[in-house]
């Protein structure tokens, strides 16, 4: 027999997945608008932002009700705590998409600097981290979640590459300064998307293993690297 | 007679205040190192970061125990939920200080661009927002919390001012590009400190009034402005 509470937790999980899908779509739209130099690609952004915000309020509300009425214990309690944190991270991922479209608006006032390679790649990896961290949540898969934390380094490395490359342009030709600055800011926003996905993955490990890896992520990380070679 | 649970909630409040004080000190140190062009001013930063991180883990742990063992209701439950969110925001405020010191390290490799005025002012306002939002938490003062949300605009305006001014330098003299870029990034980090303080203030309103103002902040804001003028 299925507990009524299990059905509620399942609904909560579905809502998080929906919210994640929309946050990911926001990143997709904003980066595509940037790459294609066409703001109309991101016409759906405000609508998605509203939906993401409503979902956050709904999720928090359901978590509150579950805590107040169900007195959840152990794994269920950790799931509800994780759900509240994850909804906050997803909402902030959506905020980054809004930041990116603001940068794009300024950037489109100027000629194209160069075809973008690293930024779309950062977007792909970050979106993958978001998607996979939510899969790990649904599957209760801590190993998968831990693997996501490791990908954060790749996004950081790409961000540094964007910084270095764009700076070279800016220094050699001052007319590229405004565009370069916007590209650097976009790279930072995408780095933050990856950070939020990392937070989600850490919350999944906490939920599954009742273990807080947040401030030991680096040690874990080094340990993993050592075992790799 | 004082409930044992009230004592626990009081301890939790004290820990949040301690964590807030340390996060604020981190911003203070990093911005002072930048203004005085002296990294040794921020020698205490790693120590403070460790303390902030430990406090976050402790606070989350106590919140979990309170939820699992005390089955809190209504105001107490909202306080515990707020405490978890606030500890996450304070930890991220500390992260901004670490970002600022990284920018400062790069910046100090170059000659001074100009005496800094807007950035220290942004730091003062943001730190004040953090401090006052925690006062509002302790006093359960929603009106005070709402007032803090309004100050966020001032920080945004200063950030835009820094962007505009620094960009002028960068365009007129390419040798200032690297320093200018770091100053722009510092201004963004301080803007995020103010955003986190705003989140905290919104959590306080939620705790006191059981009302979620997050995605209606702007409407509230406009209403307030209208009554002022």
Three-state helix/strand/coil letters over chain B: CCCHHHHHHHHHHHHHHHHHHHHHHHHHHHHHHHHHCCHHHHCCHHHHHHHHHHHHHHHHHHHHHHHHHHCCCHHHHHHHHHHHHHHHHHHHHHHHHHHHHHHHHHHCCCCCCCCCCHHHHHHHHHHHHHHHHHHHHHHCCHHHHHHHHHHHHHHHHHHHHHHHHHHHHHHHCHHHHHHHHHHHHHHHHHHHHHHHHHHHHHHHHHHHHCCCCHHHHHHHHHHHHHHHC
* Distance from C-alpha of B64 to C-alpha of B84, rounded to nearest angstrom: 9
- Identify the CATH number of the domain in which residue B204 sits: 1.20.58.220
Q: Is B46 on the interface with A (CB under 8 A)?
A: no
Q: Is B69 on the interface with A (CB under 8 A)?
A: no
Contact A170 B174 (CB under 8 A): yes
Average of pLDDT values for A66-82?
A: 92
**Residue A218 CB contacts under 8 Å (≥ 6 apart), including other chains:** none
> How high does pLDDT run on average in chain B?
92
**Residue B220 CB contacts under 8 Å (≥ 6 apart), including other chains:** B146, B149, B213
> How high does pLDDT run on average in chain A?
92
Interface test with A, best of B68, B103, B172, B175 (most A CBs within 10 A): B68
pLDDT for residue B210: 86
The token duo for A116 is 């973008």
Summarised one tens digit per residue, pLDDT across range B146-188 is 999 999 999 999 999 999 999 999 999 999 999 999 999 999 9
Give the closest residue to B95 by CA, choosing from B3, B173, B14, B22.
B22
pLDDT for residue A221: 47
Contacts of B185 in chain A (CB under 8 A): 188
* Distance from C-alpha of A212 to C-alpha of B52, rounded to nearest angstrom: 15
Q: Is A139 on the interface with B (CB under 8 A)?
A: no
pLDDT for residue B190: 98
pLDDT for residue A219: 52
pLDDT for residue B216: 65
Is A229 a residue whose pLDDT tops 70?
A: no
Q: Is B67 on the interface with A (CB under 8 A)?
A: yes
Contact B178 A185 (CB under 8 A): no
- State the total domains in chain A: 1
- A222: closest CA of chain B, how far (Å): 19
Interface test with A, best of B58, B60, B100 (most A CBs within 10 A): B60
Interface test with B, best of A54, A66, A171 (most B CBs within 10 A): A171
Sequence length of chain B is: 229
- In B198-217, the residues whose Cβ lies within 8 Å of chain A are 212, 214-215
Minimum Cα–Cα distance from A195: chain B residue = B92
What count of other Cβ atoms lies within 10 Å of the Cβ of residue A1?
4
CA end-to-end span of chain A, whole Å? 48
Pick from A161-165, A191-195, A220-224, B12-16: least confident: A220-224
Successive 10-residue mean pLDDT values, chain B, 229 residues? 85 97 98 97 97 96 93 91 96 97 97 94 98 96 96 97 96 94 97 97 93 67 38
- A15: closest CA of chain B, how far (Å): 18
pLDDT for residue A211: 82
Contacts of B88 in chain A (CB under 8 A): 85, 88
Q: Is A156 on the interface with B (CB under 8 A)?
A: no
- A225 or B119: whose pLDDT is higher? B119
Average of pLDDT values for A82-89?
A: 96
Average of pLDDT values for A182-197?
A: 97
Average of pLDDT values for A172-198?
A: 96
Report how many Cβ contacts below 8 Å link chain A to chain B.
75
Host domain of residue A195: 4-228
- A11: closest CA of chain B, how far (Å): 21
């Amino acid at each position: 027999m299925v507990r009524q509470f299990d059905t509620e937790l399942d609904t909560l999980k579905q809502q998080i997945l929906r919210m994640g899908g929309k946050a990911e779509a926001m990143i997709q739209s904003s980066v595509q608008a940037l790459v294609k130099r066409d703001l109309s690609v991101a016409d759906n952004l405000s609508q998605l932002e509203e939906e993401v915000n409503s979902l956050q309020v709904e999720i928090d509300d359901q978590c509150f009700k579950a805590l107040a009425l169900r007195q959840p214990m152990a794994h269920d309690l950790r799931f509800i705590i994780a759900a509240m944190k994850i909804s906050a991270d997803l909402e902030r991922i959506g905020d980054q998409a809004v930041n990116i479209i603001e940068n794009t608006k300024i950037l489109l006032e100027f000629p194209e600097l160069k075809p973008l390679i690293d930024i779309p790649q950062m977007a792909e990896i970050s979106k993958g981290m978001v998607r996979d961290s939510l899969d790990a949540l649904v599957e209760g898969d801590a190993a998968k979640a831990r693997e996501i934390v490791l990908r954060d380094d790749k996004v950081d490395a790409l961000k540094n590459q964007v910084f270095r490359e764009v700076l070279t342009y800016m220094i050699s030709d001052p007319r590229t300064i405004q565009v370069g600055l916007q590209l650097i800011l976009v790279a930072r926003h995408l780095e933050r998307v990856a950070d939020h996905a990392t937070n989600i993955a850490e919350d999944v490990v906490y939920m599954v293993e009742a273990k807080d890896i947040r401030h030991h992520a680096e040690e874990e990380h080094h340990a993993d690297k050592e075992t790799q070679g």
